[in-house]
Copies of this chain bind each other. A is one copy, B any other.
Amino acid sequence: MTKRAIHKKYANTAKESGFLPHIAYDSVIFGFDGETLKILILEYHNTKLFALPGGFVKVHESLNDAVRRGLHDRTGLENIYLEQFHTFGSLERFVPATIEQIMLNNGHLNSGEEHWLLERFISVGYYALINFNEVNPQPDTLSDRCEWYPVNELPPLMLDHHEMVQKALQTLRDNINKKLVGANLLPEKFTMKQYQQVYEAILGEKIRRTTFQRQILGLDILKRHEKQFLGKAHKAPFLYSFIK
């Protein structure tokens, strides 16, 4: 065995790993299950730490591509709707002990060892809107679970991830009338009630049925299809889809 063949199991510097140092992204992945707005949360092995799915940017990769790559790995989806909402750069978010704990518990680090992931990071926050039913979330090597949580019932999140969620949600609310939010959270065809529930879940409040319908239909962005028979004891609703 030559000297050259002796190598560490993991890259301990950013350069070795091929990533830009000090820069990360975290993603708030929203899905709608028909009733409530949910987001994907990771739980790390052997810790009680919950976190947003995140990742790093390769040296020759754009920031947007890095986020798309990470989301594809986790959800299998290709054309995900993505919005960047804020970049987090406080000193308070630099807590190497937390990262160290995660890596030690996963055997990705020896105690006392230096590692680029233990340095300070500035993180760019993105949110994604995906179709809840098309996804089977995959945990990564550091985490043993990747599960949906209602935005109102999140576990305690590490670092500033709770603040990230709140800021993502606020941005989503601000954008609700600008960016055709429903198209990405709903299935191809949906009822007016489902669409209204998406709005209510995002805004966190009830809205008036008649006013909502009047406004949405007035936008001329929906196509009306045949009625949907739900097996419920009342008039069947129409189905709608978005006009491309």
A-to-B contact residues, CB < 8 Å: 20-23, 57, 59-64, 66, 84, 86-91, 120, 122, 124, 174
Contacts and interface: CB of A to CB of B under 8 A. Distances in A.
Contacts of A21: 21-22
* 3 A-B pairs with least C-beta separation: A63-B89, A87-B87, A62-B90
- What is the total number of copies of this protein in its complex? 2
A59 B122 CA distance: 11
A166 to B, nearest CB: 16
23 contacts: A20-B22, A20-B120, A20-B122, A21-B21, A22-B22, A22-B23, A23-B23, A23-B122, A57-B122, A59-B120, A61-B91, A62-B89, A62-B91, A63-B87, A63-B89, A63-B122, A84-B86, A84-B87, A87-B87, A87-B124, A89-B124, A122-B124, A174-B174
Interface centre among A62, A86, A88, A89 (most CB of B within 10 A): A89
Contacts of A124: 87, 89, 122
Contacts of A23: 22-23, 122
Contacts of A89: 57, 62-64, 66, 124
Contacts of A60: 91
Contacts of A59: 120
A62 B123 CA distance: 12
Contacts of A64: 89-90
Given A20-B120, A22-B22, A23-B122, 17 more contacts: A20-B122, A21-B21, A23-B23, A57-B89, A57-B122, A59-B120, A60-B91, A61-B91, A62-B90, A62-B91, A63-B88, A63-B90, A64-B89, A84-B86, A84-B87, A87-B124, A122-B124
A57 B91 CA distance: 11
A22 B90 CA distance: 17
Nearest to A60: B91
Contacts of A63: 87-90, 122
Interface centre among A20, A60, A66, A174 (most CB of B within 10 A): A20
